[in-house]
Structure 1
Amino acid sequence: MTRRLLISYLALALLVLAGLEIPLGYLYARGELSQASQNVERDAAMLAEVAEEDIEEGRLDELPDVVGDYAERTGSHVVVTDRQGIVLADSAPAGRADVSLAAEADIARALRNRRTVTMTTDANGRDVLSATMPGASGTTVRGTLRLTYPLDQVDARVHRIWGALALTGACILAAVALVAVALARWITRPLRTLEAATTQLAEGRLTNPPDDTTGPPELRRLAASFTHTATRLQHLLKAQQAFASEASHQLKTPLTALRLRLENFEPYLDARAHGSLDEAIGEVERLGRMVQGLLALARLENTATTPEPVDLDTVLTDRVAIWEPLAAEQYVTLDITGLPAGQVWAIPGALEQIIDNLLANALRVSPPGTNITLHRIPGTELHIVDQGPGMSATDRERAFDRFWRSSDSHHDGTGLGLPIVRHLVDASGGTVTLHPGPGTGLAARIRLRPVAARSRAPRAGGEDFGSRRSISMGI
């Protein structure tokens, strides 16, 4: 932003200078040319009077001295003719007398008692001012005089003024640049500190609040308001995290005690009430899992981190090795298929939790003797396909809603597993969708971004999930 402000200030200054100096230089050049034209016309008229007097009185031998002296002083070229246009005197060293110029337009006009002032080009290609005057008394023309004045000196003066204007403009632009840099830095300093503070806040911390002591009043108020908001937000997040941490310990004890008390009732109840007691104990266990899921989901939503490269094949092999004993107890086989996927972007610990939750859901609905296939597709996708009852299209659309459970569900899930999966996948910059599997099964497709050469991780900000245990919650 500092660069853009500097460019805008310099562009405005350049526009103002151009609007002032270009007309000034143009007017000066026209003034110099007009002044030179007037001087040439005046001198030509005076010389023509002197030449006319000398011609009238017969002093023709004085004409070369008169025109030569003037030409030497001014650097001009003077030619005098008689009434027939024959050259009487020429100030040029190579000039010749007794040459007729009557055929030339300006001389012909002068012989008709008309003067001519024009700008033309001489034999050397130089711009010159030419004034041709009749040497006359009343209507009687006794001769003509042509005065040719080179514009070299006029051009030199015009070039000097243009150079002076350019130098002045450059000095003004340099001064404007110095002032503009200081002003732009003063204006953007709160914005730079605000940007740094915003980046820190996105990463879950705010160690350097934005500077609210310098800059325009509006930006100082904005920085102060941001600091107040960020401080309040951090306080609320810390309070919520503290609540989640404390509640996870405080709720475990009463739920465990309630379950033990219910189990202690079993010897004293009628056999017909045992079914209800088992249902009550199951609901207490489900309530415990739900509380753990809610607390885990709250921790996930209140924190985030920057995705890092994770080897999908290694994580997949490790998680399958851990889940295989439980799957064997249910007579379910876990198969890894497809080509190696390589590294993907994921927040630390997220990939393990994603696989754990999806495998837990798949095992919960898989009949004995079936397979759960974990198919890798370079690109990078992971498909977890079971051979359970599957879901309808309507159920698949709602499966990621919190606490949602299928109306025909026969398991004790909490409705938090898939929301946790979606949150972890989204935070890692990927997508997760549900599709019909082969037969009546369900296929969960997770697409994560592959780690390409020189690629950069997306910014997410926050806390490291790597130290947490995997969370497995049912649908």
Structure 2
Amino acid sequence: MLAGLEIPLGYIYARGETSRASQSVERDAAMLAEVTEENIEEGKVGELPDVIGDYATRTGGHVVVTDKQGIVLADSDPAARTGISLATQPDIARALTNQPTVTTTTDSAGRDVLSATMPGASGTTIRGTLRLTYPLDQVSTRVHRIWGALALAGGCVLAAVALAAFTLARWITSPLRTLEAATAQLAEGQLTHPPDATTGPPELRRLATSFTHTATQLQHLLKAQQAFASEASHQLKTPLTGLRLRLRLENLEPYLDPRAHPSLEEAVDEVERLGRMVQGLLALARLENTATTPEPVDLDAVTAERVAIWEPVAAEQYVALDITGPHVGQVWAIPGALEQIIDNLIANALRGSPPGTTITLHRTPGTELHIIDQGPGMNAADRERAFDRFWRSSDAHHDGTGLGLPIVRHLINASGGTITLHPSPDTGLDARIQLRPVTSRPRGPRSGGEGSGSRRPLSQRTHTAGRR
């Protein structure tokens, strides 16, 4: 808009200045032509230099007077020659025929000038001519000055508009920034600073209010869901414990028909599996509702310790445990998590390892731990779903609960690491755990909702075996 207004205005002003200068020169030339014509008529040729010299001094113009033959009688430039003929020059020739000329031309110095040539005549009698040239430097200076003023005005307007736009944009986006921060807090599980619903446009204030209401309702629903899962698990745990420990279903075996013994064994196995599932649900509920902060843990020491504990169990199944690879040192992990992760993965590997095979715990530089078995392994689709809760492979022939690997992944994520499943080089499964070395900066505590003050070691909270 400024360009559309100021550029035409500048051109109009420039043309107006040139037009005014041209009219002024034409008017002055006509007046001087009358004066010089009177002097020539009265024979006062000697006064011509004073007349035109005085005008040239006051205005900065250049005046030349000729007689009716085009011979120069006077020149305002003291260094110019008189007595020479200019009759062949177009403007002088036209003036000698009583025709005035006003044009823009270039003088001997190469400057652009306005030139007005007028006849000195009384009626049809031509007594001489007068040429007045005026340099366009002053006109150009005034034109440039107005262009500068227009540019300065445009710059001030743009600065004012930019300031107003910036202020308005800050006012409009202020609720969006608080809404963005609140969304990030809600993604972490707890909205502590609701978005500001008192500033900004009405639409954004209503949006902030709606978001706060939705976030509050969502937090209530999540807390209710977590409370229900925890309470339901606790309520299921009590009767299951009674079935296993107090009633002792196995004690019914002598009183049952031998044909019912397989059904009794299946019932006992299902009670045991259901008990482990409830224990796993309780462990997940505690993990999701507990704030945890990673701490330095010696991966080599923990790996050696867990292998020593599991070797007798593996030996009963004729499976060997082996640790390979260089020492990797300390890694970041939440308290008790590394022991729980290795226990679950070794137990998981033992379930699918045939006798005479080896489970290898291989360490690689970069704080990566591989737990590799030589069992049947998993296909790609099963590896994608292996971390889903309660999921078990369709070809599984064991009493897993489907909660072991979800617990492992939750512990690794809480420690700031990752876990992925890959086929091993020969046969079996390769569980790759990537943890962060202590040289890197630990991540902040992860909060899961209520009960965020607990810091008990995870080995005391849950010990649930994994599954494929």
* TM bracket, shorter-chain basis: 0.7 to 0.9
Map of 2:255 onto structure 1: 269
In the alignment, which residue of structure 2 is the partner of 1:146? 131
Do the aligned residues in 2 keep the contact of 1:266 with 1:274 (CA within 8 Å)?
no
- Does structure 1 retain, via aligned residues, the 8 Å contact 2:230–2:285? no
Please tell me whether the aligned partners of residues 87 and 98 of structure 1 are also in contact (alpha carbons under 8 angstroms). Answer: yes
Within 1, Cα distance between the matches of 2:136 and 2:219?
79
SS of match in other structure, 2:30: helix
> Is the Cα contact below 8 Å between 1:44 and 1:145 reproduced in 2?
yes
> Paired residue for 2:423?
435
Residue 344 of structure 1 and its aligned partner are, at CA, apart by 7.1
Alignment-derived partner of residue 13 in structure 1: none
| C-alpha separation in 2, matches of 1:330 and 1:78 | 121
Picking from 343, 348, 354, the partner of 1:356 is: 343
Choose the corresponding residue for 1:384, options 348, 352, 371.
371
Name the structure 2 match of 1:7.
none
**In 1, Cα distance between equivalents of 2:163 and 2:411:** 51
Which amino acid in the other structure matches residue 400 of structure 2?
A: G
Could you say if the C-alpha distance between residues 395 and 234 of structure 1 is closer, same or farther in structure 2, counting changes exceeding 3 Å? closer
Check conservation: 1:76, 1:148, Cα contact below 8 A: yes
Q: SS in structure 1 opposite 2:464?
A: coil
Q: 1:222: Cα distance to partner?
A: 0.9
Report whether the alignment pairs 1:286 with 2:273: yes
* Aligned-residue offset at 1:323: 4.2
CA distance in 1 between partners of 2:65 and 2:31 (Å) = 13
Alpha-carbon offset, residue 256 of structure 1: 0.3
Q: Pairwise mapping of residues 102-251 of structure 1 onto structure 2 (< 5 A)? A: 102-124=87-109, 126-137=111-122, 140-251=125-236
Q: 1:437/1:92 Cα in 2 relative to 1: closer, same or farther (>3 Å)?
A: closer
* Aligned equivalent of 1:473: 465
Cα–Cα, structure 1 residues 228 and 108, in superposed 2: closer, same or farther, change >3 Å? same
Out of 196-205 and 403-412, give the one that drifted further. 403-412
Equivalent position amino acid for 1:143 in 2: G
Cα distance in 1 between the residues matched to 2:172 and 2:369: 50
Give the deviation of 1:261 after TM superposition: 1.1
Q: Partner of 2:390 in structure 1? A: 403
Kept after mapping to 2: 8 A contact 1:262/1:277: no
Residue 24, structure 1, aligned to residue 9, structure 2: yes
CA positional deviation for 1:208: 1.5
Kept in 2: contact 1:134–1:144 (CA 8 A): yes
Partner SS for 1:64: helix
Instruction: Tell me whether 346-355 or 401-410 shows the greater mean CA deviation.
Output: 346-355
1:315 corresponds to 2:332: no
* Bigger shift: residues 382-391 or 81-90: 382-391
In structure 2, relative to structure 1, the CA distance for the partners of 1:82 and 1:400 (3 Å cut) is same
CA distance in 1, matches of 2:324, 2:225: 42
1:373 alignment counterpart: 360
Are 1:316 and 1:355, in contact at CA under 8 Å, matched by a contact in 2?
A: no
Letter in 2 for 1:284: V
1:245 is displaced (CA, Å) by 3.2
* Change in 2 beyond 3 A, CA 1:394/1:74: closer
Deviation at 1:376, TM superposition (A): 2.9
- 1:93 matched residue in structure 2: 78
Matched-pair contact (CA < 8 Å) for 2:280–2:403: yes
CA distance in 2, matches of 1:268, 1:454: 62
1:413 aligned residue? 400
**Aligned Cα RMSD in Å?**
3.6
Partner of 1:243, secondary structure, is helix
> Would the aligned equivalents of 1:384 and 1:443 in 2 still touch at CA under 8 Å?
yes
Change (3 A) 1:95 1:205: same
Q: Which amino acid aligns with 2:199?
A: T
Q: Alignment partner of 1:93: what SS?
A: coil
Question: What TM-score does the superposition give when structure 2 sets the normalisation length?
Answer: 0.83
For residues 325-376 of structure 1, give each alpha carbon's deviation from its aligned partner in whole angstroms, at most 9, with x where no partner exists: 2332331433222345577787887655443322120122334553211223
One-letter amino acid of the counterpart of residue 64, structure 2:
V
CA–CA distance in structure 1, aligned partners of residues 68 and 292 of structure 2: 102
State the shift of 1:411 in Å.
2.1
Paired with 1:346 and 1:140, the residues of 2 have a C-alpha distance of 116
Give per-residue Cα distances to partners, 1:65-107, cap 9 Å, x unaligned.
3212322332211111123322111112323321333344433
How far apart, in 1, do the equivalents of 2:191 and 2:247 lie? 47
In 1: Cα distance, 2:40 partner to 2:90 partner: 22
> 1:46 corresponds to which residue?
31
CA contact (8 A) 2:253 2:264 kept: no
SS at match of 2:31: helix
Once residues 419 and 49 of structure 2 are traced to their aligned partners in structure 1, the CA distance between those partners, rounded to angstroms, is 103
CA distance in 2, matches of 1:358, 1:216: 55
Q: Is the 8 A contact 1:388 1:442 kept in 2?
A: yes
SS class of match (1:101) = coil
SS of 1:214 mapped into structure 2: coil
Counterpart position of 2:47: 62
Distance 2:411 2:105 in 1: 85
- In 2 relative to 1, CA 401–309 (structure 1 residues): closer, same or farther, beyond 3 Å? same
Deviations 1:423-446 (A, max 9, x none): 5667757451231453x4332334
Q: Give the equivalent residue in structure 2 for 1:254.
A: 239
Q: Distance in 2 between matches of 1:291 and 1:218?
A: 48
Structure 1 SS opposite 2:248:
helix
Tell me the residue number matched to 1:327. Answer: 311
- Residues 86, 394 of structure 1: CA spacing in aligned structure 2 closer, same or farther, 3 A cutoff? closer
CA-to-partner distance for each residue in 1:188-225, whole Å, 9 max, x for gaps?
22112112212222222222211111110111111111
In the alignment, the residues of structure 1 paired with residue 73 and residue 435 of structure 2 have an alpha-carbon distance, to the nearest angstrom, of 99
Offset at 1:395?
4.8
Q: Distance in 2 between the 1:92 and 1:454 partners?
A: 88
Q: Distance in 1 between matches of 2:89 and 2:334?
A: 95
TM-score for the superposition, normalised by structure 1: 0.82
Measured after TM superposition, the shift of residue 257 of structure 1 is: 0.7
